[in-house]
Structure 1
């Protein structure tokens, strides 16, 4: 049963990392290369869509890692899993305090009502997102290492 949990957790966290990595290094560069109104509208749509899905994915990943840490507490890799969980908690705290407020504003913008500094706000979100991606990549690396 623990093996199935380990696999499910690894796949779930890995897919989340893949999506967030793609946002940082594929989607955002594509959206940023579009003409201004299209770029802003694309970011708004992405913010709405991913803003609805990612909280469930982050919390679900954390819950799975937590269950694994408890269920496998007597195994050698339990410490790695626990540290991965701490990193996922950090990523959630970062999201709630730093990224979500910007995304919530972005979700309401249109070309007619966006603030003058909308590009600066999105650039700040992107810089913070790079840090969050690094944190969750580290968590994923620990989860994978715990399998070996």
Structure 2
């Protein structure tokens, strides 16, 4: 049963990391090559959709990894899984404190309400998102290593 739980946790976290990586590497750069109105519409729609889904995914990931850390206490993988849990919490704090306020504004943009500094706002979000993706990729790698320990 523990093996199945570990696999489920790795899959849930891995898919979340994959979504965030694809946003950073493919979705937002692709939207950035579109005309401004299409870029704004795409970013706004993505902000709304992902803004509804990702909080639950992050919470589920933290809970699963936290439970894994508790269950592995006293074993070789405990330290790694605890580090993974801490990194996930850091990514959540980063998201809530810095990324979500920008995302909430972007989600409300329309062609008529887009601010003059919209490119600077999405640029700031992208930069912070790259930091979050780096943390998440490290998290995923450590989680996979922990699963093999």
Aligned equivalent of 1:34: 34
Q: How many residues align?
A: 148
Aligned equivalent of 1:138: 138
Aligned equivalent of 1:84: 84
CA distance in 1, matches of 2:72, 2:98: 33
CA distance in 1, matches of 2:136, 2:34: 28
Are 1:108 and 2:108 counterparts? yes
Query: 1:2·1:72 contact (CA, 8 Å) conserved in 2?
Result: no
Per-residue deviation, residues 63-108 of structure 1 (Å, max 9, x unmatched): 0000000011121011000000000000000000000000000011
Cα offset for 1:146?
0.4
Describe the SS at the equivalent of 2:113. Answer: coil
Unaligned 5+ segments in structure 1 are none
**Structure 1 segments (4+ residues) deviating >4 Å:** none
CA distance in 2, matches of 1:108, 1:95: 18
User: Under a length normalisation based on structure 1, what TM-score does the superposition of the two structures give?
Assistant: 0.98
CA distance in 2, matches of 1:104, 1:144: 32
User: Under a length normalisation based on structure 2, what TM-score does the superposition of the two structures give?
Assistant: 0.98
